[in-house]
Structure 1
Amino acid sequence: MKRMRLPVFLLGLLLAVSLRAGSLESAYQARAMLGADVWSRVVRIENEASGRGSRYPAEFHGLVVAFEGILWLYTEYDGTQSISRYAGRLEQDQADLGPLLQAVEPGLTRFEDVTAPTPFAILGRPPPYACFPAAVARWQQLQREAKPPARARLLAIYPEGHRQGHMVLEYWREGRRYVFDPARPTVERELSLRLTEDPLKVARALFAPRDGKRPVRAMHLDLEGPGIDGSGQG
């Protein structure tokens, strides 16, 4: 049976950049944000193409995350990207990570799982480009509440001229519609139920033009959870 090819999410643009603590520390910070309920592994990656047009150094650490049936890679250099290429292959992808890393960049030829108990104190501030871990962490928190959302999705929003996007969490609960934006973590913005659900139109309603560049592309990923009833009603 032919498997459905997945779109590629590239995330980490709009969130204010924290000072880098080092790629290993950032990977563990992102892992701590996600919590024990989300499968993740800290990996050390070697890059044969460092200094030859690659955006990564010769050796660095990242966090591989399994979420909604696909794998994602977080690094402090460019945020999070989806690395699974086809739906329905999570176990195979977890067992054979090498080709997925080389699809990110051909020079990423060697890696090692170095996951261990956190070897140092986790910093209070989030790691750089952490919109994806923050949105997933908020989703995990919402599912543990007495009245979890009846519907939710992640929105990846891309401004004009930018390769990377920014991720927010949109959810419906008790007849109301909200957006959690990791760039403004203390504010849960309410949206009108009359607003279209078209991802790009939602993105343009959320964000004023950034440096004169408004969102030109948006993608969404529907989420599953204990409160999801499939009706779209909160």
Structure 2
Amino acid sequence: MEKAESRKRVCINGNETEIIESGGRSFFALKFDESRIPLYRIKMLENLHCSGLLPMHFLREGQSLHAYYDFGGFLQLKDMVGEWAKKGKNLAVEMAETVAALARCLLLAENYLFFCEDFLLHPDVVFVHVHTGQVKLAYVPEDPVSMRITGKFAGLVRDTAETAGDEQWAAYAGEIYRRIINSNVPLSGIEKILRDVSHDIYSNNWPERSALRPADEADMLITVAEDNMLLKLTSSDPKDYA
């Protein structure tokens, strides 16, 4: 890496790291144990094989691996929401398009043997290009969870409601969440659900927040009890069915 100057910071699921400007490009870095990322994935990420993931560069230091994420031209989802709001964009429409694009990113990643079960799905790893709206994910490995993709992606949709801070999207996200959970389809089926929803919102076939669900606001949102119950139904751990 060239001599670099640190500017702002990025927070990935509670892990804060500096943004580094180097050679006209923007990076942030995370540190992992070397065993966390298989060698074949490192090669794919360094050689830009998967267009659904941010390109990465790696430096080894003993048993540690410093991963540099190249996100030039992209903003984290939470920052892009602010840009959309400044421009007067319809946040519900923008978020619907974004989560549909996320499913496509994951399908692309699976083609290169990146499995959703063992990397982080959280709004913090979602990046949107400032000018084109292209969506990419930052690949952050995590311990595999005993949950099928249905539950994991539904949880991501739920979390985007808080990130957007938009009442209309919160209502839509709740409905999308339930559609995904109740369908129990593979990732390709989730992508179709989201594509259909995005089209319906654009076509004004989805009602406004006040008409989408009963008037009581508490009934519109996903409750903790419902969340726990529905996610349990999507677990891949046999103990959860006992």
Query: Does TM, scored on the shorter chain, surpass 0.5?
Result: no
Q: Bigger radius of gyration, 1 or 2?
A: 2
Alignment TM class, shorter chain as reference: under 0.3
Structure number with greater CO (CA < 8 Å, separation at least 6) is 1
Greater fraction strand: 1
Q: Which has the higher helix share?
A: 2
